[in-house]
A and B are shown apart, each in its own frame.
Chain A
């Protein structure tokens, strides 16, 4: 596709429910990122993949958060036993380059986000 797509766009979950958020990056993009954006704040990094390898998961807030990208393309962010503080917009971004490059290939292109509301 032309850009990064995410689904669902909106998700309402009851506290304790598990959710799965999907990201389809731009075709051919090596790197994939997940960010969490609370209301009125800038996005905060969650995790990063280069192809299928998860190279950095330092931003995941707890072990209830799990991300995968098994074939190096589509990625899923799973949140188990959701809590109210998980309510946020979850943004996915992809970039053409892997590590060690510079310039425009590193530019991250963002999807529209999934707005998660936990009741």
Chain B
């Protein structure tokens, strides 16, 4: 079965600094999703990547999927307190159809003012 490992498990950065979160898969990724979760809330969809080498950006968050489609990174530029939360990567283990997602354990991001 497919497993996702995220690193680091937790991260504390000073406001304004850049940071990167990684997600590594044990198998080829056919669809990779990034979500953000705040305590007591559900998951907020950020981005989805499908093609090797694909890169997407939304505001100050950029996500990339490597050419081999086994690793993704999430990069935040000039971090703000609103970026704090738990970031989760989720993978579609099937070739077609996202019938269920397998998730990493999450990365807890804290932004210090």
Chain A contacts to B: CB under 8 angstroms: 4, 6, 31, 33, 40-45, 48, 55-56, 59, 91, 93, 95, 97-104, 106-113, 115
Mask: chain B, 89-113; 1 = CB below 8 Å from A; 0 = not = 0101000111111111110000000
If A102-B50, A106-B92 touch, whether A45 touches B97 (CB-CB below 8 Å) is: no
Looking at B12-20, B36-44, B60-68, B74-82, the stretch in contact with chain A turns out to be B36-44
Docked complex Cα distance between A108 and B34 (Å): 11
User: CB-nearest residue of chain A relative to B30?
Assistant: A102
Whether the pair B40, A95 counts as a contact (CB closer than 8 A) is no
- Contacts A113-B42, A115-B40; A108 near B105 (Cβ below 8 A): no
A42 and B104 contacting across the interface, CB-CB below 8 Å: yes
Chain B interface mostly = loop
Alpha-carbon separation in the docked complex, A99 to B107 (Å)? 30
Q: A102-B50, A102-B96, A106-B98 are in contact. Are A44 and B103 (CB under 8 A)?
A: yes
When distances are taken between beta carbons in the complex, the residues of chain B under 8 Å from A97 are 97-98
**Residues in chain A near residue B33, CB distance under 8 A:** 107-108
Q: Quick one: which of A103, A108, A110 has the most chain B CB within 10 A?
A: A108
The reply to whether B99 and A48 contact each other, CB–CB distance below 8 Å, is: yes
List the 4 shortest-distance A-B pairs measured between CB atoms, nearest first: A42-B103, A106-B98, A99-B97, A110-B42
Which A residues are CB-close (under 8 A) to B40? 112, 115
